[in-house]
Each structure stands twice: as structure tokens, then as C-alpha cells.
């Protein structure tokens, strides 16, 4: 069921609309010197801002909304609004310079963002210090299935959820469900969280009917196997259709942003680093062992298509390079190879792959063809990773699952992080992963060998 609007949203959102519009108009007058006496111009500014905000959900911020989600939406908001402002200015304010328009956009949006985050963090502190703006909730399900959410509610008071009661379905299910219904009505409960694994279809239907008829918010806790599936509901006319997975990078706008970022970033690395690093490492690699400077290997990329992935050669020429991963203290690794692997310099030639379009800067790490074939059979949902381009680094890599796969647990967790990434991509998440990757390299990663 759709989440209800928070207790204060009825006051905060109209206040936010008014404040944001006032900021835009104020700086349009005193910074950009736009023709604000022109009513059509003012209407165009306001309609553009709120139309974009409605489309992106700029004001749809809930207590559980992540900061990176807010920032990602804000980035899209200012990008589209900037295009709208330049278009409007072209027709109504041709005398206004490009620099002044940019200044107007930067100052007004920075102030809007400061106010937005001030309200966001004020509410978090208000919930912790004064216990206000909270929602009373109950849990229904077996202990093992509801305990993670129970711990979350207990340990994260700033989200504003107060756990009132747990109904354990390890006992009489029918009795526990009926007790929950009575308890919810008599104790002003706002939300019910039910473990879908512990309920049959009839019980689920009864709980949904109760929530609908009594205006209560109902949310289901999925089972572990479905936890990383991001279902979305689409309508073909009036016919509801469930889409199994919502992949952010399927959207054209997101594809353009990511590709633009990949090209700019890879060109910077190639020009500023690889232009002088290739000759130096090339000489050192050649002096120590016979063979090419670069090592190329077939790997699986977007839609499982094979491509050649490039690296600086860090091993002696051997017949097992395309079959076995490098392990700790591997005698195939050369002296210079140990250094470039420890510092992850061996991966830098993959920026050529990024420039060619085979890879992205951030994404699921590509595997050897032989490993892809093995894990596709052995590991559930392994192939989902290939819905997007592979990356030089990824969310799984900064979360402790880079390098050698020592057990099935490593690859299972890698798949989970990769699926989360492709369903929740944002340019800010990419930047966070890149910064964390650089930090880990400088700090030294124990799995870099």
C-alpha cells in the first residue's frame, strides 16, 4: 500500500513550495535582473519549477528517504530547471548574460537545498530529542523474519518509528492476526508491518482488507530470496502489469548522464595519468619478463556480450591466466606485478574500455568467460548483473567483495550488491563509489594482491 503523508507534511510542503518560489522570484529580481514585471515570465518560471518537481518527486521526501536519493533528485531538478530557464530567457530576457543566469541558478538552488536539508535534519533531531513526528507501528511474523526490522526501529529513533507491539506467528496464526486487528484499532496504530513469508494468500487478503477498511498503512516484509527484486507496477490503459525489476539505467536521461560522465572521466585519466604512466610501466614490465605490456582477456559485459578487457600485465605468461584467478602469494605474479596489483594500477588500461563503450567507470566487475559460465549455473540471479555495463569499480568492491572469490558467499554477496546498484543507480552513488575506491587504494586493501 502507498505510504501515507507524514503528520507535518500537510504544513511543511506548502511552506516549502512558497519558500522555494519566493527564493526563485527574489533572485530573479536582484541577481538576474529578469523582467519580473512580465507576468508571463514569472508564470513560466513557476510552472517550469513545479512541473519538473512534480515529475521528479523533488518534494516527495519521507522519513526513510536517503540523503543520496535527495541529492540525486536535486541534481536532476536543477539540470532540467536550468534548461527551462535558458529557454524562457531566450524569449523574454535576451539582454541577460549567460554568467548572470548561471549565478542566479547557483545561488537560488543552493539556498533552496540548504533549507530543504535544514528541515530534513531538524525533523530527525526533533524525533530523537522530543519524541515528536513519530509513527506507531506493529510487527507481525516469526521472530527470525521480523527481528531485523525490530532492531532497525529500536536503534534508529531519528526515523520516527515507535514499535509498540510484536505479534509472533510461531504461535496460533489466526489468533495472533485477530489480536493484531483489535490492538491496532484500540491503540491508535499508524502502520502494520507483516512478514509475507509467514502468511498464506487468504491471510494476506484478510490483512489487506482490514488495512483498507480502517485506513491503516500496511507494508509487507519480503522473504530473503525476493529482497533485492524491485517490482514496479505499470498500467496499460487500466490494466495493471507487474514489471519484475526497475533498472534505473534503462531510462534514456540516466544513460546520457552516465555515458557523458564516463567519457569525461576516462579522457581525464588517459590524458593526465596514462599518457606518462604507460611508457614507464611498459619499460619496467618488459625488463622483468618477456611478453606484451598489456594483458587482454575475454570477459562478459552488457547483455552477456563478450569483449576484450585490458590490464597491465602483472604475471608471467602462463596457460592458466584465462581460467584461474590470482590468489594470495601466487607465484605467477612478477615483482613489478605485485606493486601494480597492490595499488590497482593494473586496472587503469580499462579506461580505454570505458572510452570505447565496453565498460563504465562504475558497475558490476566483469568476470572471465569461464567463470561466468560456472556462476550462471551455480549462483541464483548471477546473470542479472549483465543488464548494465560492467565497471572498473563497483558497490560490491567497496563493500569488501573485490578480488579473489574464496567461497560461494563472496560471489552471492557480490551479486546482491550489484543488483542493488543497478536498481538504485544515481550519479551521486557513482561519485561516492569512486571516492571510496580511491580512499581504499590509498589506505591499502587487504584483498588487493
Q: Which residue has the higher pLDDT, 390 or 318?
A: 390
What pLDDT is attached to residue 363? 94
What pLDDT is attached to residue 139? 93
Residues 6+ apart with CB under 8 A from 355: 262, 263, 266, 267, 270
Q: Which residue has the higher pLDDT, 7 or 332?
A: 332
pLDDT > 70? residue 228: no
Count of beta carbons in the 10 Å neighbourhood of residue 345: 19
Residues 235-264 pLDDT 10s: 655 666 666 677 888 888 888 889 999 999
Tell me the C-alpha distance between 75 and 105, whole Å. 12
pLDDT > 70? residue 70: yes
Residues 183-219 pLDDT 10s: 999 998 988 999 888 888 899 999 999 988 888 888 8
Name the helix (H) or strand (E) containing 188: none
Using left for φ > 0, alpha for ψ between -120 and 50, and beta otherwise, residue 357 falls in: left
Which set of grid coordinates corresponds to residue 278? Answer: 604507460
Residues 6+ apart with CB under 8 A from 176: 140, 167, 168, 169
Mean pLDDT of the 34-38 span: 61
Going along the chain from its start, the domains and CATH numbers come out as: 9-130 (no CATH), 135-227 (3.40.50.1980), 252-443 (no CATH)
Mean pLDDT of the 228-240 span: 61
> Percent of the chain beyond pLDDT 90?
26
Distances (CA, A) of 27 to 30, 31, 49, 174, 392: 5, 5, 14, 61, 42
DSSP E strands: which ranges in 29-181? 135-141, 161-168
**Residue showing cell 518534494:** 59
Mean pLDDT of the 376-404 span: 87
Residues 73-108 pLDDT 10s: 888 898 889 988 888 777 766 666 778 888 888 999
Count of beta carbons in the 10 Å neighbourhood of residue 99: 8
CA 7 to chain centre: 27
What pLDDT is attached to residue 227? 46
pLDDT > 90? residue 361: yes
**CA atoms lying within 13 Å on the CB side of residue 415:** 21
Among the residue ranges 46-50, 175-179, 378-382, 406-410, the one predicted with the least confidence is 406-410
What pLDDT is attached to residue 343? 86
**Residue showing cell 512541473:** 51
Mean confidence (pLDDT) of the chain? 83
What pLDDT is attached to residue 332? 82
> What one-character DSSP code corresponds to residue 215?
T
What pLDDT is attached to residue 33? 65
What pLDDT is attached to residue 448? 60
**CA nearest neighbour of 146 among 166, 119, 126:** 166
Residues 6+ apart with CB under 8 A from 332: 315, 316, 318, 320, 321, 326
Residues 428-437 pLDDT 10s: 899 999 999 9
Burial of 243 (0-12, 13-18, 19+ CB in 10 A): exposed
DSSP E strands: which ranges in 196-303? 217-221, 232-236, 239-243, 294-300
Residues 377-389 pLDDT 10s: 888 888 889 999 9
Residues 6+ apart with CB under 8 A from 266: 351, 352, 354, 355, 361
What pLDDT is attached to residue 409? 82
Asked if 326 and 406 touch (Cβ cutoff 8 Å), the reply is no
Amino acid at each position: 500500500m502507498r505510504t501515507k503523508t507524514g503528520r507535518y507534511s500537510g504544513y511543511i510542503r506548502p511552506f516549502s513550495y512558497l519558500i522555494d518560489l519566493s527564493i526563485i522570484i527574489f533572485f530573479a529580481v536582484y541577481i538576474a535582473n529578469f523582467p519580473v514585471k512580465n507576468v508571463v515570465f514569472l508564470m513560466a518560471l513557476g510552472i517550469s519549477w513545479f512541473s519538473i518537481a512534480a515529475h521528479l518527486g523533488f518534494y516527495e521526501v519521507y522519513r526513510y528517504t536517503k540523503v543520496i536519493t535527495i541529492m540525486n533528485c536535486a541534481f536532476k531538478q536543477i539540470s532540467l530547471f536550468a534548461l527551462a530557464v535558458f529557454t524562457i530567457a531566450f524569449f523574454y530576457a535576451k539582454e541577460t548574460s549567460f554568467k548572470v543566469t548561471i549565478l542566479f541558478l547557483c545561488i537560488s538552488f543552493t539556498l533552496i537545498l540548504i533549507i530543504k536539508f535544514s528541515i530534513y535534519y531538524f525533523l530527525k533531531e526533533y524525533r530523537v530529542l522530543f519524541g515528536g513526528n513519530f509513527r506507531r507501528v506493529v510487527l507481525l511474523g516469526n521472530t527470525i523474519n521480523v527481528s531485523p526490522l525490530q532492531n532497525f526501529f529500536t536503534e534508529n529513533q531519528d526515523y520516527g518509528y515507535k514499535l509498540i507491539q510484536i505479534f509472533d506467528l510461531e504461535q496460533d496464526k489466526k489468533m495472533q492476526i485477530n489480536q493484531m486487528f483489535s490492538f491496532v484499532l484500540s491503540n491508535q496504530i499508524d502502520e502494520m508491518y507483516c512478514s509475507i513469508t509467514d502468511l498464506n494468500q487468504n491471510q494476506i487478503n484478510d490483512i489487506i482488507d482490514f488495512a483498507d477498511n480502517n485506513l491503516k498503512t500496511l507494508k509487507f516484509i519480503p522473504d530473503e530470496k525476493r529482497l533485492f527484486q524491485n517490482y514496479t507496477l505499470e498500467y496499460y490503459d487500466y490494466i495493471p502489469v507487474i514489471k519484475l525489476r526497475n533498472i534505473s539505467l534503462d531510462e534514456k536521461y540516466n544513460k546520457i548522464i552516465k555515458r557523458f560522465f564516463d567519457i569525461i572521466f576516462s579522457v581525464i585519466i588517459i590524458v593526465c595519468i596514462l599518457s606518462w604512466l604507460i611508457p614507464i610501466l611498459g619499460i619496467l614490465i618488459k625488463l622483468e619478463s618477456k611478453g606484451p605490456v598489456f594483458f587482454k582477456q575475454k570477459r562478459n559485459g552488457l547483455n552477456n556480450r563478450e569483449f576484450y578487457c585490458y590490464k597491465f600485465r602483472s604475471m608471467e605468461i602462463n596457460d592458466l591466466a584465462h581460467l584461474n584467478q590470482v590468489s594470495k602469494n601466487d607465484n605467477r605474479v612478477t615483482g613489478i606485478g605485485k606493486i601494480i596489483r597492490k595499488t590497482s594500477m593494473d586496472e587503469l588500461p580499462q579506461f580505454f574500455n570505458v572510452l570505447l563503450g565496453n565498460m563504465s567507470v562504475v558497475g558490476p566487475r566483469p568476470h572471465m568467460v569461464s567463470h561466468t559460465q560456472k556462476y550462471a549455473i551455480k549462483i541464483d540471479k548471477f546473470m542479472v548483473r549483465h543488464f548494465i555495463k560492467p565497471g572498473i569499480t563497483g558497490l560490491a568492491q567497496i563493500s569488501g567483495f573485490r578480488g579473489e572469490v574464496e567461497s560461494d558467499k563472496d560471489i552471492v554477496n557480490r551479486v546482491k550488491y550489484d543488483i542493488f546498484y543497478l536498481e538504485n543507480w544515481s550519479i551521486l552513488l557513482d561519485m561516492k563509489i569512486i571516492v571510496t575506491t580511491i580512499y581504499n587504494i590509498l589506505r591499502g586493501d587487504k584483498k588487493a594482491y
